[in-house]
Amino acid sequence: SAGRARAGRGAGCRDGRVVGVIAALGGSIALVLSALSLLHLYWAVAGSGGEGAAIPEVGGKPAFTPGPLACIAVAALLAAAAAVVSMRAGLWSLAWVPTWAPPVGAWGVAAVFALRAVGDRKLVGFFKKVRGTRFARMDSALYSPLCAVLAVVMIVIGGMEYMTSEL
């Protein structure tokens, strides 16, 4: 039906188990992204908490100092990513959003998180050179693996019309 396709369920996803798994994955990822968005809003308003673990360091000093607007921008992007995931997983839809937008958005979100997981080869990502700082340890243990998982799940959600009932 048009409503099902509109909500992000492609023609190849007729198997209820596949649709259920996609909805569960999408809902879980949307919750993670929403929580991260709220954390960035907190940092924009309160401006403190976890700086050593949240910002890369060079020579014992923060590599940059994000201001409230930067935190709000990141929070907005994370919230938008949560909305894209929710729409693509068929959890909700908006009539004014074109049908091509959620799958394209899902691939875009996957690309952003994959690039973040790989990193800049200096301060962030799996291939960073700066190690031994609190941020670097958290990045290796949590941030980069989380970004990799988010990227993989978004690839699955983005390509779900290629799934068939034979899965």
Per-residue model confidence as pLDDT tens digits over 130-152? 999 999 999 999 999 999 999 99
Q: What is the pTM of this model?
A: 0.83
Using the structure block, give the residue that is written with the tokens 């700082």.
133
Task: Give CA–CA dist 18/92, Å, rounded.
Answer: 17
The tens digit of pLDDT for each residue in 106-131 reads: 999 999 999 999 999 999 999 999 99
The tens digit of pLDDT for each residue in 41-56 reads: 999 998 777 777 899 9
What's the confidence (pLDDT) of residue 163? 56
Query: What residues does 58 pair with on adjacent strands?
Result: 61
